Amino acid sequence: MIHKDKERIIVAEFHKKIKEAFEVFDHESNNTVDVREIGTIIRSLGCCPTEGELHDLIAEVEEEEPTGYIRFEKFLPVMTEILLERRYRPIPEDVLLRAFEVLDSAKRGFLTKDELIKYMTEEGEPFSQEEMEEMLSAAIDPESNSIHYKDYITMMVIDEN
Amino acid sequence: MGCSSSSTKTRKSETSLKAALIIQNWYRGYKARLKARQHYALTIFQSIEYADEQGQMQLSTFFSFMFENYAHVHKEELELRKQSLESEQDMRDRHDYVDLIDVPDSYNGPRLQFPLTCTDIDLLLEAFKEQQILHAHYVLEVLFETKKVLKQMPNFTHVQTSPSKELTICGDLHGKLDDLFMIFYKNGLPSENNPYVFNGDFVDRGKNSIEILMILCVSFLVYPNDLHLNRGNHEDFMMNLRYGFTKEILHKYKLHGKRILQILEELYAWLPIGTIVDNEILVIHGGISETTDLNLLHHVERNKMKSVLIPPTETNRDYDTDSKHNKVGVTFNAHGRIKTNGSPIEHLPKHEWEQIIDILWSDPRGKNGCFPNTGRGGGCYFGPDVTSKILNKYQLKMLIRSHECKPEGYEICHDGKVVTIFSASNYYEEGSNRGAYIKLCSGTAPRFFQYQVTKATCFQPLRQRVYTMESSAIKILKERVISRKSDLTRAFQLQDHRKSGKLSLSQWAFCMENILGLNLPWRSLSSNLVNIDKNGNVEYMSSFQNIHIEKPVQEAHSTLVETLYRYRSDLEIIFNAIDTDHSGLISVEEFRAMWKLFSAHYNVLIDDSQVNKLANLMDLNKDGSIDFNEFLKAFYVVHRYEDLMKPGVTNLG
């Protein structure tokens, strides 16, 4: 019995949290957001779906005949489930560090700008030009034209907290 | 051999694929959270801005209330004012304004030559780029001439476009001169072949309102048929008192500022209400309501709409000019001082006044219907059905309006029928939004052009821009919080049954929203505003840490201090109004009477003894008078650990 009550409270809190995040992007105040903002909303709630996973999620919350807008009524239950099941957990710092180390086969402690561009735009779920430019602007040390990934990660982690 | 090396290669490419995926995934999450923080900051700025506007509208009802009570008390003073003002009225000639002011030889700013030509426009632009100040003589002459020409314009200007004569529409500029320079740089100066509409809110908030106004007026005088000015809700001397333009003028024109303010008051009221393009596009500053009557608006005497803060009272509808009954009308003049006219009050009838308020203050929303605009306190929220109804009624295709800051400088809603255009980039803070303008040509779709001015040579990285915006927004939000400390503490303690000093996030958010009256994502913002323990509970008193209100008078009770701080803009306006002899001083007795009225109307619970004590304390040299403006200036908020960030919007006026 207590367990059920507790769950209800948790769900209620999730609902409020999701509503807050949704409303900030609901420009016309009519309980819809542009589908292109859904990724931002989901990620702002602390989840990290891949682009592929995001694509599937959007299909789940879209109207049968896609309108370009997602309604809150459809989004809420789906997002609540995600939070309850703790799906798409963010990537821990050490995993991120290891990923960089894998790409840095020579174990120099850094990646050159060109190497980073190559990996990010040719492998995995490639970056758009805009995404690449933005990452470079903060990550690259202009003197050495490279990214010292350990420092970079530390800086980003401080930022987020 | 060959096989093993290729399998190593496959494994290696698999791992690097995985690694790349991890990094990309993480980065996209990080970037999205940055964007969300940017949006939260924008939401904070907007909420506070609209809450302020609501405060301004509230002031309007207070003034009505005040007249009924105050006028009785100080009738003799008002009689005296009446006499001195009647002679003032006669002097409203060009001669008084302009010719009495000499331009000294030592002045090396721009010298305009009347009748104005495009050379004068260039002269002004060059001078303002060098940050020169136009001499008051020319300011007055330009304003006077502009008013003369505006008087001949109808309420709605009708404009036609053609492929060789496209029309450019700009939205709010709010004193941001760099944005106007940017627009002229990208789109060319106004001319017969390059017509412009400036859709209101040229002034307030930014620091170059007078320069913008001068450029627009001079351009208007040179090209009266191709440079169109629409009135915005900030083309209102009462708004200018609160939002910075009045201060800017009095600061830049110490000697002649008051005269400039006087003529501005009249000029504003002569600004046209809107523009109609190609008989199918309506361009107005705010929006519409379901009762908007364009035919009526075409015929109202627009110059009688002095200010949003001077609503028509019941008596205004009575046009009997029965001087035998000695009817003394009471109104405000340019710096909010009470004055009287011997003549009947020159006001619009209530329904006409409301029609104009709707045009200047309304906002479109997604919900069908027409609702009072509770965010701003004036005008309404109008839905897509209202848009369709009104546009169809007058055979129009589109409504172009401004009034709201949009991240991309423009926004289209109501199924393409309503366009918002906003031309002040970085409106709230460096990096907050782009500015935009529209080019119209009959037969083709409107084209949008965006820009963003920046002092740096290249954009800072996204995280830096977001950080700047966020810090600025949180700072002004904290100032709101501290100004309600007593009420908030009471609310928190009411919820804290166990007296633990902690509340759930939900309870904390509930209190914040209720007391502050701001609809914000409190849970998402909580980490910036309070300390949260490892169980996710909020230590609510930490809402007030690292910030306090500096008291000018040590003995003043903290609740009183908070209240004075919170209402200081309102009080400044009110006290300027009472200070009938422009001395900057009010008597202790006036202060007490004023405070009684204020607290009654605003439901502020401060007991009389505290107020009396404060009044006596403020009378520092015990001569019975208080320098109220000095006193109010002394209330400011101190942020501990002030970072090296530049000041945000709180310092604008």
Could you tell me if residue B649 is inside a domain? no
Asked if B621 and B592 sit in the same domain, the reply is yes
Closest alpha carbon to B597 in B28, B63, B136: B63
Nearest CA in chain A to B26: A91
**Distance from C-alpha of B176 to C-alpha of B572, rounded to nearest angstrom:** 25
Q: Are residues A51 and A1 in the same domain?
A: yes
For chain B, what percentages of helix, strand and coil (3-state, to nearest 5) are there? Answer: 50, 15, 35
Q: Are B52 and B479 in contact (CB under 8 A)?
A: no
The whole-number average pLDDT for the span B249-256 is 86
Determine the pLDDT at residue B331. Answer: 42
- On whether both B236 and B376 belong to a single domain, the answer is yes
| A124 closest CA partner among A139, A150, A103, A148 | A103
Q: Which residue of B has its CA nearest to A38?
A: B32
Same domain, B130 and B226: yes
Question: In the predicted model, is pLDDT for residue B90 greater than 80?
Answer: no
Distance between start and end Cα atoms, chain A: 36
Q: Using CA atoms, how far apart are residues B307 and B234, in angstroms rounded to an integer?
A: 10
pLDDT for B411: 94
* Residues in B touching A127 (Cβ below 8 Å): 24, 27
Which of B491, B510, B544 delimits the end of a domain? B544
B480/B475 Cα distance (integer angstroms): 9
| Final residue belonging to a domain, choices A43, A58, A85 | A85
Q: Which carries the bigger pLDDT value, residue B67 or residue B455?
A: B455
Name the residue of chain B whose CA is nearest to A137's CA: B461
Residue of higher predicted confidence among B407 and B348: B407
Tell if the CB–CB gap between A103 and B16 is shorter than 8 Å: yes
Tell if the CB–CB gap between A137 and B461 is shorter than 8 Å.
yes
**B523–A17: do the CB atoms touch at under 8 Å?**
yes
B6 occurs within a structural domain: no
CA distance B169 to chain A (A): 23
Interface of B with A in 342-371 (CB under 8 A): 364-367
User: For residue A101, what is the nearest residue in chain B, using CA coordinates?
Assistant: B19
Closest residue on chain B to A140 (Cα): B461
Q: Does B26 touch chain A (CB under 8 A)?
A: yes
Do A114 and A80 fall into the same domain?
Answer: no
Query: In this predicted structure, what is the pLDDT of residue B69?
Result: 56
Chain B residues whose CB is inside 8 A of the A40 CB are 32, 35-36
Which residue among A24, A40, A102 places its CB closest to the CB of B32?
Answer: A40
Q: Which of the residue ranges B3-12, B35-44, B611-620, B637-646 would you say has the lowest mean pLDDT?
A: B637-646
- B508 with B361, same domain: the answer is no
For CA atoms B568, B569, B574, B576, the dihedral sign is positive
Q: How far is B631 from chain A (nearest CA, A)?
A: 39
Q: Would you state the structure tokens that stand for residue B243, as one six-digit string?
A: 């939002």
Q: Is A28–B413 a contact, with Cβ atoms under 8 angstroms apart?
A: yes
- Nearest chain B Cα distance for residue A124, angstroms: 5
Give chain B's domain count: 3
B523 vs A50: CB contact, 8 Å cut-off?
Answer: no
Which of A56, A85, A114 terminates a domain? The answer is A85
Q: Which DSSP string corresponds to B496-556? A: -TT--SEE-HHHHHHHHHHHH-----HHHHHHHHSEE-TTS-EEGGGGGTTEEEEPSSTTS
Q: Which domain holds residue B594?
A: 559-644
* Nearest CA among B471, B506, B473 for reference residue B641: B471
Q: How far is A154 from chain B (nearest CA, A)?
A: 13
- Each residue of A38-67: pLDDT tens digit? 999 999 998 999 999 999 999 999 988 888
Confidence label for B613 from pLDDT (cuts 50, 70 and 90): confident
Residue B321 burial (CB count, 10 A): 11
Q: Which residues contact B501 (CB under 8 A, 6 or more apart)?
A: B539, B540, B541
Interface residue B15 vs chain A (CB under 8 A): yes
Give the rounded percent of residues in chain B with a pLDDT score beyond 70. Answer: 77
Structure tokens at B114: 């009347």
Q: What is the pLDDT of residue B316?
A: 40
Q: Note whether A81 and A146 are same-domain residues.
A: no
At residue B312, the 3 state secondary structure works out as coil
| Residues A56 and A108 both lie in one domain | no
Distance, in Å, from the CA atom of B498 to the CA atom of B537, rounded to the nearest integer, reads: 13
Whether A60 and A104 map to the same domain: the answer is: no
Q: Residues of B with CB below 8 A from A128's CB?
A: none
Contact B145, B114 (CB under 8 A): yes
B374 domain-assigned: yes
Regarding whether A58 and A114 lie in a shared domain, the answer is: no
Residues in B touching A156 (Cβ below 8 Å): 30
Instruction: Report the pLDDT value the prediction gives residue B417, as an integer from 0 to 100.
Output: 96
Closest Cα of chain A to B188: distance in Å? 30
For position B536, what pLDDT does the model report? 85
Domain match, B151 and B270 both: yes
In a shared domain, residues B372 and B431: yes
Question: How far is residue B530's CA from residue B302's CA, in Å, rounded to a whole number?
Answer: 50
* CATH number for the domain that contains residue B613: 1.10.238.10
3 state DSSP class of B414: coil
- Do B284 and B158 reside in the same domain of the chain? yes
* A105 vs B291, higher pLDDT: B291
- Using the predicted structure, report yes or no on whether residue B579 has a pLDDT greater than 80: no
**Are residues B415 and B295 part of one domain?**
yes
Confidence of residue B640 (pLDDT cuts 50, 70, 90): low
Distance from CA of A17 to the nearest CA of B (A): 7
Q: Which residue of A has its CA nearest to B526?
A: A17
Q: Which residues of B touch A50 (CB under 8 A)?
A: 21, 25
**Whether residue B432 is found in the same domain as residue B480:** no
Higher pLDDT, B138 or B331: B138
Q: Which residue segment(s) compose the domain that A38 sits in?
A: 1-85
Contact A120 B23 (CB under 8 A): yes
Most confident of B78-92, B364-378, B450-464, B575-589: B364-378
Choose among B37, B72, B131: nearest CA to B472: B37
Q: How far apart are the first and last CA of chain B?
A: 78
Same domain, A141 and A119: yes
Question: Which is more confidently placed, B33 or B155?
Answer: B155
Which of B20, B411, B509 comes nearest A120 by C-beta?
Answer: B20
Q: What is the pLDDT of residue B341?
A: 41
pLDDT of residue B557: 65
Q: Highest-confidence range of B66-70, B215-219, B469-473, B641-645, by mean pLDDT?
A: B215-219
From A101's Cα to the closest Cα of chain B, the distance in A is: 9
- Taking contacts as CB-CB distances below 8 angstroms, the residues of chain A near B31 are 131, 134
Q: Are A146 and A119 found together in one domain?
A: yes
Q: How many domains does chain A have?
A: 2
Question: Do B536 and B485 fall within a single domain?
Answer: yes
> Mutating which of B18, B21, B22 best tests the A interface, going by the most A Cβ atoms within 10 A?
B22
B177 and B276 together in one domain = yes
pLDDT of residue B332: 43
Say which of B174, B234, B403, B414 is annotated catalytic: B234
Per-residue confidence band for B621, with pLDDT thresholds at 50, 70 and 90: low
The pLDDT value recorded for residue B324 is 29
Confidence of residue B66 (pLDDT cuts 50, 70, 90): low
Q: What's the whole-number mean pLDDT along residues B480-504?
A: 91
Asked if A44 and B32 come within 8 Å (Cβ–Cβ), the reply is yes
Closest-CA distance of chain A to residue B30, Å? 8
Give catalytic status of residue B234 as yes or no. Answer: yes
Query: Chain B residue with minimal CA distance to A52?
Result: B25
Answer yes or no: do A50 and A106 share one domain. Answer: no
Q: Which residues of B touch A100 (CB under 8 A)?
A: 19, 23
Asked if the C-beta of B411 comes within 8 angstroms of chain A's C-beta atoms, the answer is yes
Are the C-beta atoms of B20 and A124 separated by less than 8 Å? yes
Helix axes B568-578, B558-566, angle to 10 degrees: 80
Q: Do A80 and A106 sit in the same domain of this protein?
A: no
Domain-ending residue, one of B544, B567, B588 = B544
Sign of CA dihedral B357, B359, B362, B367: positive
Q: Which residue has the tokens 């608006």?
A: B297
pLDDT at residue B302, rounded to an integer = 93
* 3 state SS of A97: helix
Q: What is the pLDDT of residue B645?
A: 34
Question: Are residues A19 and A55 located together in one domain of the fold?
Answer: yes
Range from B29-38, B197-206, B482-491 that averages highest in pLDDT: B197-206
| Domain stops at, among A22, A55, A85 | A85
Decide if B11 touches A, using CB distance below 8 A.
no
Q: Which amino acid is at A82?
A: I
Sheet holding B418-421, edge to edge: B156-159, B274-277, B281-283, B398-401, B418-421, B410-413
Q: Print pLDDT tens along chain A (161 aa).
A: 568 888 888 899 899 999 999 998 988 778 999 999 999 999 999 899 999 999 999 999 998 888 889 999 999 999 999 999 999 988 888 999 999 999 998 999 999 999 999 999 998 899 999 889 889 888 888 888 899 999 998 888 877 76
Question: Which of B20, B35, B413 is facing A40, going by the closest CB pair?
Answer: B35
Average pLDDT over chain B reads 81
Q: Which of A71, A140, A73, A91 is nearest to B28 (CA)?
A: A91
Given an 8 Å threshold on Cβ–Cβ distance, is B22 in contact with A99? Answer: yes
Q: Is B365 in contact with A13 (Cβ distance < 8 A)? A: no
Give domain status of residue B341, yes or no. no
Q: Point out the residue among A41, A48, A51 whose CB comes nearest to the CB of B26.
A: A48
Q: How far is CA B138 from CA B99, B217, B258, B394, in A?
A: 10, 12, 15, 42
Q: Are residues A14 and A44 in the same domain?
A: yes
Tell whether the torsion through CA atoms of B381, B397, B433 and A32 is positive or negative: positive
The reply to whether B628 and B529 lie within a common domain is no
Interchain proximity B463–A138, CB inside 8 Å = yes
Q: Give the CATH number, domain containing residue A124.
A: 1.10.238.10
